[in-house]
Amino acid sequence: MNEPILEVENLTVQFKRKTKLFKAGREQERWKKVLDSISFNIKQGETFGIVGETGSGKTTLARTLVGIYRPRECRIRLNGKHLDLNKKEDVLLLRKNIGIVFQDPVGSLNPRVTVSEIISEGIPDQKKLSERQMEAKIMEASELVELPGSKLESFPTELSGGEKQRVSLARTLVGGKKILVLDEPTSSLDVSIQAQILNLLLRLKNELSISYIFITHDLNVIKHMCERVAVLYYGQILEQGNTYEIFEHPRHPYTADLIGANLSFTSNDGFSAARESGEPSREGCIYQNSCSKKFLQCEKPPPTFDLGKTLVKCWLYDYAGGDHGESVDGRNGGSNGASD
Amino acid sequence: MFVPTPPKDNLSSNLLEVRGLTVNFETVDRSVEVLRDVSIRVGKEEVVGVVGESGSGKSTLAQAIIGVLDIPPARITGGIVLFQGKEILPSSDGKANFRGKGINMIFQEPLTSLNPVYSVHDQMEEAVNIAEPKMEKKEKEALIRNSLREVMIRDVDGVLNVYPHQLSGGMRQRVSIAMVLVQKPNLLILDEPTTGLDLIVQRRIIGLIMSLKKEILSSILLITHDLEVAAYMCDRVYVMYAGKVVESGSMKDVLKKPLHPYTTMLKNSVPEGYVNEGTLKVSSGAPPDLRHLPSGCAFHPRCQFANDVCRSKIPELKAQKDGREVACWLYE
């Protein structure tokens, strides 16, 4: 397929935590790695899913990609051009090309301005455009997202959840952005409304050949929307690759646990309630405290192994060119991935 | 002398029966019907689901049954609730207030249902005091520990001495299940028990509830928006839309062949296949604003089969074969 339009290499984000009790206490600075050496790329017209649980760093990743957080370390290539996210011009260039739809439609829309003003925020170089041109652009964007024209003069509080997400989408589309970061765009919506938004996103992708970075915790949505997917766990990508491959043959024990826990209309097996999740490990493999396949090697941090269709960060696959067919599929092995 | 045998109707096997429950929310200038003539029943050892989107009235139903509905603004304008054959609603003060006496409820967000200023131990003790007032202190202590072990908490001592905010979401939900367990309810109402929990934790809590159900609990009424969770847990299901039950039946039948167009849409809304396997079949529009309900069937503006009858007359819940019911003019 075509060249990747966005390449991210070794993205690391740290948050500073100051621990200082009262004024007299000695100030300590501690850094917490929220994202640890994340690498992935996206091609044009592709949906790349990022799935993870609470605290895995999904939202931090989304915000870093649009320049809200400054990464400690990162190599980003946009359309083949290297960007330095510590330089202001490069961050602006990044923002010009990557749009974002936030999870919370209430918090991301200014309640004091009308919908058409919110959408117009997304138009670049506004000074060069006449009022009529602006209006035409706003109309075009709102038609794209199937937002009725009568809503353009409403305020965000008058809109339903689904309509608010359509406004957020229109705001990014009006600037002609080709890469959209969707941070849990449907999590706060009812299922039937979620389905409408998913259909809309699929249609826009086909019509405008946009690329999505789709961030969610919902595996069924990932499966339905994404060609490729990355599994994020406490700041590390444990497995990434072709969606079908990952769902049908999960290689990493965490992926297997996650997919085994997903409910569909056909699940009826007995998933064990017995095991408690351990804390993420500070040393070695991050999942070792919760892993059912832990062995001695896991004390050391695993490198990422390339298994052809997927990349896996797990010592289980530390064999040179061996048999790649084996999977630690939790479902095939019954309670395999779930027992103590 | 001829003694007529008492009629053996369904009533005797029903643990909980709600008949024609109607609840209004009243403000100074208007009154909104949140539940409209809702009838459900829960049999012994049955897991019954109530599925619906936001605004369908499913949580109001649960709150009305257990008597935690805020009156006012809410007002119960009609219907009765029977529990074990006894009428618990309407009661003299308009509330059912039945907590701790056979019916228990687990709420969506355990952080709000657990008291933040008492340790887990103290709250558990309170629950035990209500359930077993005559028990000796040592036995009570043993019961608390046992019940925490029952919900698969390993570090019992660690959990007993902490406050709810120090626990993770999954652990909090385990504690609230443990509190319910000591009271040995005949009916457990679960209001979105796993919403907001991570996937693996959600699955463990569901697994835990189902395994406990087999041992201790007799019946479960599950309130959820998640059709997949309902499909996994329930024997029977009621589908609610805009304050009305629109369809009911056994979970398997309803999933296999939904009768009401709304149920069909709900089922089609859940993405199941892989990418490029087509779009989801869903109609436009959103659940109605209860203040301005559409005339006739509340679903008609979103329904592809809607005709003139649907627009003018409200369909009644009618029995179909296999013990199913549907409120739709298509099945007249």
pLDDT at A325: 45
pLDDT at A25: 61
Q: Are residues A280 and A220 in the same domain?
A: no
Q: Closest by alpha carbon to A59, among A187, A243, A246, A193? A: A187
How many whole angstroms separate alpha carbon A137 and alpha carbon B325? 50
Q: Are residues A49 and A144 in the same domain?
A: yes
Total domain count, chain A: 2
Nearest to B282 among A160, A196, A273 (CB): A196
Q: Are residues A259 and A156 in the same domain?
A: no
Domain with A302, as residue range(s), is: 249-337
> What one-letter code names the amino acid at B162?
V
Please enumerate in sequence order all residues whose Cβ is within 8 A of that of A181, keeping only pairs 6 or more positions apart, or say none: A62, A65, A66, A98, A99, A100, A101, A212, A213, A215
pLDDT at A338: 34
CA distance, residue A269 to nearest chain B CA (Å): 9
Interface-testing mutation among A204, A263, A292, with chain B (most B C-beta atoms within 10 A): A263
Q: Give the count of beta carbons closer than 10 Å to the beta carbon of residue A55.
A: 14
DSSP-assigned letters across all residues of A229-286: EEEEETTEEEEEEEHHHHHHS--SHHHHHHHHH---TT--S-----PPPPPPPSSS-T
Residues in chain A closer than 8 A to B255 (CB atoms): 265
pLDDT at B194: 82
Give me the count of residues in chain B.
Answer: 332
Interface-testing mutation among B274, B284, B299, with chain A (most A C-beta atoms within 10 A): B274
Positions of E strands within chain B: 14-26, 31-43, 47-51, 74-83, 86-89, 103-106, 187-191, 219-224, 236-241, 244-250, 318-319, 325-326
Comparing alpha-carbon positions, the chain A residue that sits nearest to B196 is A54
Would you say residue A170 lies in a domain?
A: yes
pLDDT tens sequence for chain B (332 residues) = 455 444 444 445 788 888 888 988 888 888 888 898 899 989 888 899 999 888 888 888 988 888 777 777 888 888 888 888 777 777 655 555 555 578 888 887 777 778 888 888 888 888 888 877 888 888 888 888 888 887 777 788 888 888 888 888 778 888 888 888 888 888 888 888 888 778 888 888 888 888 888 777 678 999 998 888 898 888 899 999 998 999 999 988 888 889 999 999 988 888 888 877 778 888 787 888 888 888 888 888 888 888 888 888 888 888 888 888 888 888 87
Tokens of A233: 């766990």
Question: Given its phi and psi angles, is residue B309 left (phi above 0), alpha (psi -120 to 50 degrees) or beta?
Answer: alpha
> What one-letter code names the amino acid at B115?
N
Tens of pLDDT along A259-306? 888 877 766 655 554 455 677 888 888 888 888 888 888 888 888 888
Interface-testing mutation among A191, A216, A228, A262, with chain B (most B C-beta atoms within 10 A): A191
How many whole angstroms separate alpha carbon A239 and alpha carbon A12? 17
Interface contact flag, A160 B203, Cβ < 8 Å: no
Q: Are residues A149 and A263 in the same domain?
A: no
DSSP single-letter state for residue A68: S
Q: Give the count of beta carbons closer than 10 Å to the beta carbon of residue A47.
A: 24
pLDDT at B205: 82
Q: Give the count of beta carbons closer than 10 Å to the beta carbon of residue A270.
A: 11
Helix/strand/coil for B214: helix
Nearest to A224 among B204, B273, B282 (CB): B273
Would you say residue A244 lies in a domain?
A: no
Interface-testing mutation among B148, B225, B280, with chain A (most A C-beta atoms within 10 A): B280
Domain spans, chain B:
12-102+184-286+293-331
> Cα dist. A224→A201, B271, B310, B326 in Å?
11, 6, 34, 31
Nearest to B279 among A202, A219, A257 (CB): A202
- Residue A51 near chain B (CB below 8 Å): no
Mean pLDDT by 10 residues, chain A (340 residues): 83 78 64 87 91 86 88 86 85 89 85 91 84 88 88 88 90 89 88 90 90 91 92 91 90 87 70 60 84 84 87 82 46 35
Nearest to B275 among A193, A217, A243 (CB): A243
CATH code assigned to B12-102+184-286+293-331: 3.40.50.300
Bridge-based pairing state of the strands A236-242 and A228-233 = antiparallel
Interface contact flag, B269 A268, Cβ < 8 Å: no
Residues in chain B closer than 8 A to A252 (CB atoms): none
Would you say residue A243 lies in a domain?
A: no
Q: Are residues A260 and A218 in the same domain?
A: no
Would you say residue A83 lies in a domain?
A: yes
How many whole angstroms separate alpha carbon A115 and alpha carbon A110? 9
How many whole angstroms separate alpha carbon A122 and alpha carbon A108? 13
Would you say residue A282 lies in a domain?
A: yes
Q: Are residues A124 and A229 in the same domain?
A: yes
Nearest to A190 among B225, B228, B279 (CB): B225
Tens of pLDDT along B114-130? 888 888 888 888 888 88
Would you say residue A169 lies in a domain?
A: yes
User: What is the per-residue burial (b if ≥16 Cβ within 10 Å, else e) of B225-246?
Assistant: bbbbbbbbbbbbbbbbbbbbbb
CATH of the domain at A100: 3.40.50.300
Whether B26 contacts B75, CB under 8 Å: yes
Interface contact flag, B225 A221, Cβ < 8 Å: no
Tens of pLDDT along A15-61? 877 666 666 666 666 788 888 888 999 998 899 999 988 888 888 89
Q: Are residues A270 and A192 in the same domain?
A: no
pLDDT at B94: 53
Give me the count of residues in chain A.
Answer: 340
